[in-house]
Amino acid sequence: MKIHPREVVVGILIVIGIGFDKQWWTIPREWNPWQPLRISDPLTPVTQWKLERLEDDRAACLAVLASLPDDALRYTPLADYTPVAGCPLSNVVRVQRSGVTFNRSFVASCPLTVAWTLYERHRLQPTAREIFDQSVTHVQHYGSFACRNIYHRENARRSEHAAAEALDIAAFRLANGQRIEVFEDWGDDDAEGAFLKQAQQGACEIFGTVLGPDYNAAHANHFHFGMRGFSFCR
């Protein structure tokens, strides 16, 4: 009897399918798009996809936030509302603090809040420990919500800030009191410059849009971490 190559392929596929079903082998949850996101999971290219799915699933998104201890995130879920005519907000929370304190609380979409906590745990703090042997304790931001179009232009599309889907980060403070500012330290050939570069690179693995001083003059003094797009990093 002659076995056709196509029958071999079909046979292999069936065995693989049964294998997954019987859990002879499993995909690690951080690589499995159908497994819910956990903050403690290592980052993979699938992480951004999982974050995007949380945009339409408030319950699942809030469950991720609720899984965090109080010292990793303090927040208040907000009912959908329209703070400024033309910019309704949905699926948002008010963030009081995360593992770091902020200059002031801010309204953020739930997925942006998840993205920030992922970033802090998996990229920001490890970078600070690696370069300074310190943790970041405080972050200065320039806000998350602004009812406007990009570049304040009338005919441009709505900014990510109009939906509270982006956070502008200006500076970091370390446990020893040292302050690192995007405006002052970006591009410097020293530890602060290296920290900022690495802090931005790390954000690109999580946020959909990451902009900094190299993008344009409007970002000379802050990083823009936004949820739209996929690894747009400048």
Nearer to Zn ion, 129 or 157 (CB): 157
3-state secondary structure of 12: helix
CB of 159 to Zn ion, least distance (A): 7
Nearer to Zn ion, 9 or 150 (CB): 150
* Pairwise CA distance, residues 99 & 104, whole Å: 14
- Tell whether the torsion through CA atoms of 181, 183, 186 and 190 is positive or negative: negative
3-state secondary structure of 117: helix
Nearer to Zn ion, 15 or 150 (CB): 150
Half-sphere exposure of 107 (CA within 13 A, CB side): 19
* Pairwise CA distance, residues 159 & 196, whole Å: 24
CB of 171 to Zn ion, least distance (A): 15
Q: What are phi and psi of 76, to 5 degrees?
A: -130, 120
- Cβ atoms 199, 226 nearer than 8 A: no
| Residue number, nearest CB to Zn ion | 224
Residue 197: Cβ within 10 Å count: 17
- The CA angle 94-68-136, to the nearest 5 degrees, is 75
Nearer to Zn ion, 48 or 159 (CB): 159
CB of 24 to Zn ion, least distance (A): 47
Token output for 175: 């446990």
Nearer to Zn ion, 114 or 166 (CB): 166
State the residues that interact with Zn ion by CB under 5 A.
Answer: 166, 168, 224
* Strand 209-211 with 232-233, pairing: parallel
CB of 166 to Zn ion, least distance (A): 5
* Pairwise CA distance, residues 130 & 151, whole Å: 35
Token output for 140: 């200065």
Nearer to Zn ion, 122 or 224 (CB): 224
CB of 211 to Zn ion, least distance (A): 7
CB of 230 to Zn ion, least distance (A): 17
CB of 224 to Zn ion, least distance (A): 3
Nearer to Zn ion, 109 or 174 (CB): 109
